[in-house]
Amino acid sequence: MVPPTTRRRALRLLFGAVPSAGLLLAQRARASSPPPPSSANGRPTVRVLMPAPFADATADAVRRFNAGSAPWRIAVSRGPLDTEALSDLASSSLLLGETPFDLLLMDVSWTARYAAAGWLEPLEPLLGDDALAGMVPTARLGNGFGGHLWRLPLSGDTALLYWRTDLLPRPPGDLDELVGMARDLQRRGRVRWGHVWQGRQYEGLSCVVLEALHAFGGRWWDPETGRTVLGDPAALKAVTWLTELVRGGVSPRGVANFAENDALQLFSAGESAFLRNWPYAWALLNQDGCPVRGKVAVTPLPGAPGFRGGGTLGTWGFSLLAGSPHPRAAAEVIRWFTGPAVQRELLLSQGYAPTWRALYVDPALLTRHPLLAVQRQALDTPLVRPLTPLYAQISDVLQRQINGLLTSSEAPAIALGRAQGQSDQILRAMGALASP
């Protein structure tokens, strides 16, 4: 186990100053969460911090688990909806001292920095070296770092392209076709907007940029050199394409303030031909009362002509926090949460993509959930965000520069140059990149 003082020092180095709101939330969580008790029958309580949507989605399953005969019980803390706010809450609780949680449901992009900070306990001693066996190979990405397994994925989500079947006979084959189809529909007055996506300064924009880079044959990160590669021609083409969607009127200027639900709301109202979003949107677009219900299909994100597209791997998974008083019970709770039974329930009730191979070939599931085949296809080419402990810092740099482009007339090359230079400065300051 990593000593608390060492762990806190590492966290401060990697995470920097935590917003005061995160510290306040953490203080409240600690005050309302005494040391994990045991009930009268001696069942230890495994305390889990989850973002609000997942806490709500798994509430029934947790109630059934606690009513059963397992030798432990689960207490879920419903965390913030926003990804960054959840990270602030989790990191703040450690900076304040011992965390009141045993498990954290965390985004795949957090793995390297939390492991490097000494926050997590490795899982293979508790769950075995084959804990990921039976999962789709690409769903296993992003769970390991430094030779250890730190996380088990609950979902296998990748970003997808939603398109209107009442307006188009087929999905676009590449990004040129996407823009051409969108502009044609706009000219004929069939839709107000061609394509909506996430351009707000937050993690969703980093995912969008990663997909654009890949779509034009570029990369964000070179694992061999351990640095960003935003200065090559492919990166310029990718960011120019995104910028021109807004400046050319295919996407609304307001996309610079859009997160997932903002883009989904516009698309579900029938105002756009295309939408970039996650698998959960399928259930919402097909619920009673939705104006586009029965008029939407889904396809993997396309690439530019001559290139294959791909969607960002957006999985959420469970990690064991260092300092848990009962790590074996907590590890078994991870095994239960991420098992096929819970994932099947989440697929049918919420549309979350599973990670288990067997669920993707289940005839009953394929009949009840037609999106499943597209989700499996998208998992063939998932895009993993840079696996570095400094990911949060370089992602923030990219978000700031690209979001600024969407609201200005600046040349994309200038913004990319700043993003590359600032990323290099961060890596050098942390000793991850040699000085020129």
Summarize pLDDT for 319-376 with one digit per residue, the tens: 999 999 999 999 999 999 999 999 999 999 999 999 999 999 999 999 999 899 999 9
The percent of residues in the chain predicted with pLDDT above 70, rounded, is: 90
pLDDT score at 42 = 73
- Amino acid (one-letter) located at 230: L
Cα Rg of the chain (Å, integer): 22
- Residue 60's Cβ-side half-sphere holds a number of Cα atoms within 13 Å equal to 7
Residues β-bridged to residue 324: none
Residues with Cβ within 8 Å of 375's Cβ and at least 6 positions away in sequence, in order, are 156, 157, 158, 160, 279, 353, 360
**Which domains, from first to last, does the chain contain?**
4-156+314-378 (3.40.190.10), 160-312+390-429 (3.40.190.10)
DSSP letter, residue 110: G
Is 70 exceeded by the pLDDT of residue 6? no
pLDDT score at 436 = 64
Q: How far apart are CA 101 and CA 77, in angstroms?
A: 9
Tokens standing for residue 435: 């000085």
Is 60 exceeded by the pLDDT of residue 28? no
H-type alpha helices, 71-187: 83-95, 111-116, 124-127, 175-187
- The average confidence (pLDDT) of the chain is 90
DSSP 243-286: HHHHHTTSS-GGGGG--HHHHHHHHHTT-EEEEEE-TTHHHHHT
pLDDT tens, position by position, 243-256: 999 999 999 999 99
